[in-house]
Amino acid sequence: MNCRSCRSQNLQPIFSLGKTPLANRLLKKEQLGEIEPFYPLDLVFCEDCSLVQITETVPPEVLFSDYVYFSSNSDTMIQSARDLAYHLGKNLGEHSLVLEIASNDGYLLQHYKEQGISVLGIDPAQNIAKVANERGIPTLAEFFSSKLADQLRTEGKQADIIHANNVLAHVPDLNGVVKGIATLLKPKGCAVIEVPYVGDLVETCAFDTIYHEHLCYFSLTALDALFARHNLLITDVERLSIHGGSLRLFINHAAFATRSNSIRELLDKEKREGLDKLPYYSTFGSKVQDLKQRLLKLLKEVRQSGKKVAAYGASAKGTTLLTFFGIGKDYLDFVVDRSSVKQGLFTPGTHLPIYSPQALIEENPDYVLLLTWNFAEEIMKQQEAYRNQGGRFIIPIPELKIL
Q: Which of 254, 281, 308 is the last residue of a domain?
A: 281
Q: What is the rounded average pLDDT of the residues 338-365?
A: 95
pLDDT bracket for residue 70 (50, 70, 90): low
Give the closest residue to 209 by CA, choosing from 349, 281, 316, 313: 316
What is the pLDDT at residue 21? 95
Q: Do 207 and 327 lie in a common domain? A: no
What is the pLDDT at residue 317? 93
pTM of the predicted protein model:
0.89
- Which residue type, as a one-letter code, is found at position 210? I
CATH classification at residue 322: 3.40.50.720
Condensed to tens digits (0 to 9), the pLDDT of residues 209-245 reads 999 999 999 999 999 999 999 999 999 999 987 767 8
Q: Do 199 and 251 lie in a common domain? A: yes
Q: Which domain holds residue 215?
A: 64-281
Q: Is residue 158 part of a domain?
A: yes
Q: Do 190 and 303 lie in a common domain? A: no
pLDDT bracket for residue 267 (50, 70, 90): very high
Q: Is residue 51 part of a domain?
A: no
Sign of torsion over alpha carbons 128, 312, 314, 353: negative
Q: Is residue 20 part of a domain?
A: no
Q: Do 135 and 268 lie in a common domain? A: yes
What is the pLDDT at residue 57? 93
**Other Cβ atoms within 10 Å of 151 Cβ, number:** 13
Distance between CA atoms of residues 99 and 119, nearest Å: 6
Contact between 309 and 352 under an 8 Å Cβ cutoff? The reply is no
Q: Do 108 and 233 lie in a common domain? A: yes
Counting every residue written for the chain, the total comes to: 403
Partners of 161 in beta bridges: 98, 190
CATH classification at residue 191: 3.40.50.150
Condensed to tens digits (0 to 9), the pLDDT of residues 127-161 reads 889 999 999 999 999 999 999 999 999 999 999 99
- Tally of domains in the chain: 2
Contact between 100 and 39 under an 8 Å Cβ cutoff? The reply is no
Condensed to tens digits (0 to 9), the pLDDT of residues 82-124 reads 998 999 999 898 889 999 999 998 989 999 999 999 999 999 8
**Residues of the chain above pLDDT 90, percent:** 84
Q: Is residue 306 part of a domain?
A: yes
Q: Is residue 294 part of a domain?
A: no
Q: At CB < 8 A and 24+ separation, what contacts does 278-282 make?
A: 278/12, 278/14, 278/45, 278/47, 280/202, 281/14, 281/15, 281/45, 281/52, 281/202, 282/14
On the 0-12 / 13-18 / 19+ scale of CB atoms within 10 A, 312 is buried
Q: Do 263 and 320 lie in a common domain? A: no
- Which residue type, as a one-letter code, is found at position 336? V
Within 8 A by CB and 6+ apart from 286, the residues are none
Q: Is residue 288 part of a domain?
A: no
